[in-house]
Amino acid sequence: MASHNELGKKGEDLAVSYLLKHGYKIVVRNFRYQKAEVDIIARKKDVLAIIEVKTRSTPDFGNPQDFVKGKQIQNLVKAVDFFVTEHNLDVEVRFDIIAIIKNKSGTKIEHLENAFLYF
């Protein structure tokens, strides 16, 4: 596995641990639909949180959340619409980003709720 893939997997594992500590229940990981992959679908009360995890080893080239682009957001929205319809869910849907910087100096995790409102 390429080192960037390993870092991404570690980041998703860190995000799951973070979410569980903050009262979320993990519904599914790595949900795929057409061209989209949703990293984490989690639930807290009546909110279905769609979590895109971005992990970097350095912020030198920009914050991790800066790497979520418009086409990816469009694909995620389609995938989540399918998921909610397929499972007949009556919940509020929220799109979040968990941005992680993990390197020898430590790990920084930032949870951005309703992150797609800013794109």
Q: Where are the domains of the chain?
A: 3-118
DSSP 57: S
The architecture CATH gives domain 3-118:
3-Layer(aba) Sandwich (3.40)
Q: How many CB atoms lie within 10 A of CB 115?
A: 20
Q: What is the pTM of this model?
A: 0.87
Per-residue pLDDT of 48-87, as tens digits, reads 999 999 888 876 676 667 667 777 888 888 999 999 999 9
